[in-house]
Structures are given as structure tokens and as C-alpha cells.
Amino acid sequence: MSGGSSGANELRFDGRVAIVTGAGSNPGLGRAHARLLASRGAKVVVNDLGVGSGAKGSAYGDAGAVAAEIVAAGGEAIADQHDVAHEAGAKAIIQTAIDAWGRVDIVVNNAGSGVRASFEEMATHDIERLVRVHLMGGVWMCRAAWPHMLAAGYGRIVNTTSGAMFGLPTSTIYGAVKFGLFGMTRGLALEGAPHDIKVNAVSPGAATNALQRYDVEPDFLARYEVQYPPELVSPAVAFLAHESCPVTGGLFDVGGGNVSARLFGATTGHRNPALTIEDVRDNLDAVLDASTFSITTDPRAPIVSRANQVASALAPKPYQPG
């Protein structure tokens, strides 16, 4: 179990309870996250449904084996095999932590399944599975953990996205659900801010069992496995899960020991109160002018724009369930 740096400045998780979903694969990101958090004092629920990456012939995840590794190394962990893709399953995962340790401080939404196919050829059931696991799995896990975090006035959530959300051939649906998960990350960052609940997202690059659904040239794979082990993603995830993390609503690309921020913003654009189709055509360069680009990182301090001004003037009516 990797431990990292030591000393007075070491970031620790003593007394904290963490849940890591999709943590049973070896090699796997969830396993690496769970082991690192446990090595720094967290009590960890290792969740994995045990169905592999979604690739034919892929190795099955084993939550029990990973929990046993953590315990053998002197940490505290228990295994859970409920399914994040359903609301009842997510509630049961949270309840596993509550029953064992009476609290939940950290949720790392890492569970996933992968299907690579062009937009027109992907089967309907595979589209639905991607939505259920990656998007709704994150929704249900956050929904189940949220009341406990609100009651405690504390929480850390780290969602797993993907570079596919910015466009990747044969990964259109996968990218769409990952972008949806980031949209939830931004919204929850706003809702959680008054309660010291911080919510961030990580887009990881690592050699895991998920690579089994790709045809990879052997020499490249050998180099990638050395340069991009899952253990080089986990430090960023653990920092975002730590009580000292100052960031919320962020998206970070992490892999091979590199951490970078994916930033968002808007250009000044072009305005005409009598806007026409031709106006848009003739001023497209101004609309796309990167020199006027303004960055926003914190969803609590958005770019001042006309759209934001309108949104701030809209006070929602009381919610009435449909």
C-alpha cells in the first residue's frame, strides 16, 4: 500500500470515512485511490460490482481482495458489491459506511463501464448502460451521500470524467455522459459551498484493465504501463478529497505524474440589439476572438455576462414534485 511523503506536513485522513466505487480492479484507478486513502488513515468502503470493465474477456473486479490488501497493510477497509447504477444500490453503499463507521466524509465516484463504437452503430442497450453507470451512478451516489454531508456540515466528492467529453472518435456517448457528470459537479459545488462540501472532477490517464477494450500496440502498451500507472492519478484525487482542499467545481487532467486544470470561460463576443443571421456571419471572428477570453474557475464567482445577469434575477418558485 503506497504511503507517499511523511512528516509534520503530511496530509492525512484520520477519522475520515471514504467510499471509492469501482475499486476492485487490479490494476485499477479505484484500487489505487482506496489504497492511498487508507494508507493515510481513512476508513474505506471498497465498492465494486465485480463485472469487469465492460470489455469481453476483461478481468472481474474483486472488492474483497482489495479490502483484504488494505487490511493486510494495516489499514481499515470493508468490501461492498452493490450497484451504483440504481438508486437503491447507491443508498446501500452509503449505508455500508454508516453501519460500519457511522459517517461518510468522502465519495470518489470512479465506477464505470466502457463501450467503444461509432454513434450510429452503438446498440441502444449499450447507450443506456453508459448513462446508467457513468451519469446516473454519479447522481445516485451523490444523492445518497448528500443528506449525511449536509447534516455533518462537511463533505468531499470527487467525480471521474474523461478527456472524451471534449470529443473522441467512437466515444461520443461516453463523452456525453461524462460531460453531464461534470455539469453536476459544478452545480453541487454551488449547492455544497455553504456547508463545506467541496465537489471536484478528475479526468484520469492511466494503464488499467479498461485498456482491454482497445487494440493497443504491445510496445506502446508496455511503455504506457510504466509511465502511467494508476498510482500517479491517486495523489490528485486524494488532495481533492482532503479537508484542506480550497477548490470546488474544478476539473483536473491527471496522468503520468502531471496535474493540470481544464479551464472554462467566455469571449466578449459581439452584441447587436437587432441581431440578424448576417450579423452572426459577419462578426464570427469577434465571437471567437480568444484574446477577449475570460476564465472562471470557481462556480461561486462566474464570469459576469448578460446570461449570468439574467440568471441572478430569476428567483425560483417553491419546488413542487411532479
pLDDT for the residue 256? 95
Maximum CA extent, the chain = 70
Query: Is residue 148 located within the same domain as residue 293?
Result: no
3-state secondary structure 162-183: CHHHHCCCCCHHHHHHHHHHHH
- Angular region, 21: left φ>0, alpha ψ -120 to 50, beta rest: beta
pLDDT at position 61, please? Answer: 78
Residue 232 burial by CB count (10 A; 0-12/13-18/19+): exposed, middle or buried? buried
Q: Are residues 215 and 284 in the same domain?
A: no
Q: Would you state the pLDDT for residue 161?
A: 95
Residue 165, pLDDT score: 86
* Same-domain status, 104 and 221: yes
User: In terms of domains, do 61 and 196 share one?
Assistant: yes
Q: Residue 298's pLDDT is what?
A: 76
The answer to the question of residue 9 being in a domain is: no
Q: What is the dihedral of CA 75, 78, 83, 88, to 10 degrees?
A: -120
All cell numbers assigned to 317: 418558485
- Cα separation, 112 vs 129, in Å, equals 10
What pLDDT does residue 56 have? 42
131 and 55: one domain?
yes
Asked if residue 53 lies in contact with residue 60, where contact means CB atoms within 8 angstroms, the answer is no
* Domain boundaries, position 125: 17-261
pLDDT for residue 55: 41
Which value, in Å, is the radius of gyration of the alpha carbons in the chain? 21
The shares of helix, strand and coil residues in the chain, as percent rounded to the nearest 5, are 45, 15, 40
Asked whether residue 232 falls in the same domain as residue 283, the answer is no
Same domain, 288 and 254: no
Question: Closest Cα partner for 156 from 102, 205, 202?
Answer: 202
CATH number of the domain enclosing 31: 3.40.50.720
> Is 214 part of the annotated catalytic residue set?
no
The phi and psi torsions of 302 (rounded to 5 degrees) equal: -70, 165
Q: Is residue 12 part of a domain?
A: no
Q: Is 320 part of a structural domain of the chain?
A: no
Judgement on whether residues 170 and 287 belong to the same structural domain of the protein = no
CB 165 within 8 A of CB 179: yes
- Whole-number pLDDT of residue 300: 72
Residue 187 sits in the same domain as residue 130: yes
Determine the pLDDT at residue 59. 53
> Residue 7: inside a domain, yes or no?
no
Q: What is the pLDDT of residue 80?
A: 97
Residue 92 covered by a domain: yes
Task: Answer with the one of 261, 276, 296 that is the final residue of a domain.
Answer: 261
Is 224 within a domain? Answer: yes
Q: Is the pTM of this model over 0.85?
A: yes
HSE-up of 304 (CA within 13 Å, CB side)? 0
Question: Based on the number of CB atoms within 10 Å of its own CB, is 160 exposed (0-12), middle (13-18) or buried (19 or more)?
Answer: buried
**Residue 18: strand pairing partners:** 44, 106
Question: Prior bond to 318 cis, omega within 30?
Answer: no
**Residue ranges in 215-315 assigned as alpha helix (H):** 218-227, 234-240, 277-282, 284-287, 306-312
- 223, 246, 261 — which closes off a domain? 261
Counting as low any pLDDT under 70, the low residues of the chain are 1-8, 51-60, 209-215, 224, 301-312, 314
**Confidence at residue 260, expressed as pLDDT on a 0 to 100 scale:** 96
Residue 57: predicted pLDDT: 39
Q: Which of 174, 224, 228, 319 is catalytic?
A: 174
